[in-house]
Structures are given as C-alpha cells and as structure tokens.
Amino acid sequence: MAGKLDEKDFAIIDELKKDSKLSEQKIAKRTGIPMTTVHNRIVNLRKEGVIEGFTIRLNYAKIGKPITAFALLKATNQADQKKLLEQISKIPDVYEAAMVTGEFDIIFKARAGSMDELKNIIVGNLRKQKNVGETETMVCYELVEKP
C-alpha cells in the first residue's frame, strides 16, 4: 500500500467513518466491492497505520456535556509550546488540542456540562498552567461534526 490509496480504499474508509461497527459484508454491499477485497483492504489499512483504531461517536448532550467551546491561547515567550500542548491535552474535558499558526499558539476544544464547569476548565485549569499568557474562549451555539 505504502501511501497509495485508491477509490476502493476511500470507499471502505468512508463507510467505516459513518459506522465503524459495520460488518465487512455490509461494507461490501454498500460499496459494491467484493467481501474478500473489503476484508483484505481493512487488514492492509490497519497494518499500514491508515486505520489506527475503531471508535464511537457520542451524543455529548445525552451524557451531560452539552456545552462545546473552543479556546485560543498565547504562550509566554519562554514557553515550550510542545510541552504546553501536551499539558493542555491532559486537562479533563479537553477533547482536542492543536498547535497553530497565527496570533495564538494553541487552540483546543472542551466540553462541559455547565458554564461553571467550563469556567473551571479555563480558569481553574488552563490559566493555572505555567507559561499560559492570554486566552480567548468561544462557546458554540451549534456544532456539526463529520463522521
């Protein structure tokens, strides 16, 4: 495979992104690709590290985390940004964190059950991190996530 994915690989990946619990038989039926080919492609995609694992998609409101927010932060001048990124990614209820270009250094997504919980993530955890300078938080009104 070595980095050369074709239409069949992408068709299989698209079906798995929609529902990673699909059987190989259902993927074959939906894509029109023979089941043996689907099986072999999935094995190869996993072996090559294209598919790193299978997961679930949650309804966060139903598990008590209806608030989603994105926070931007500037690191202080002496900060090790990679280390700071790793520290932030370990904060409970931080779901994604990335080092970015532009005015801010890091952006992350957090989920909370209430504004008080969100305040605790930002004020109680984030701002207590060494080397965190300015922050800006944006609460989502609505969020559309792709599978």
Q: Is 107 in the same domain as 67?
A: yes
Q: Is 134 in the same domain as 65?
A: yes
Question: If you average pLDDT over residues 12-24, what whole number do you get?
Answer: 94
Q: What is the pLDDT of residues 20-68, one digit of tens each?
A: 999 999 999 999 999 999 999 999 999 999 999 998 889 999 999 999 9
Q: Is 67 in the same domain as 128?
A: yes
Q: What is the pLDDT of residues 76-89, one digit of tens each?
A: 998 999 999 999 99
Determine, yes or no, domain membership for 84. yes
- Token reading at 59: 């309804």
Q: Is 109 in the same domain as 134?
A: yes
How buried is residue 36: exposed, middle or buried, by Cβ count under 10 Å (0-12/13-18/19+)? Answer: exposed
Number of helices and strands in the chain (H, E) = 5, 4
Instruction: Output the DSSP codes for 81-92.
Output: HHHHHHHHHTST
Q: Is 43 in the same domain as 72?
A: no
Give the C-alpha separation, 144 to 137, whole Å.
19
Q: Is 72 in the same domain as 126?
A: yes
pLDDT at residue 129 in the model:
81
Query: How many domains in the chain?
Result: 2
Question: What are φ and ψ of residue 31, in 5° steps?
Answer: -100, -15
| CATH number of the CATH domain containing 112 | 3.30.70.920
- Token reading at 60: 């966060």
Q: Is 35 in the same domain as 85?
A: no
Q: Is 72 in the same domain as 98?
A: yes
Q: Is 19 in the same domain as 77?
A: no
Q: Is 23 in the same domain as 94?
A: no
Determine, yes or no, domain membership for 145. no
Domain boundaries, position 88: 60-139
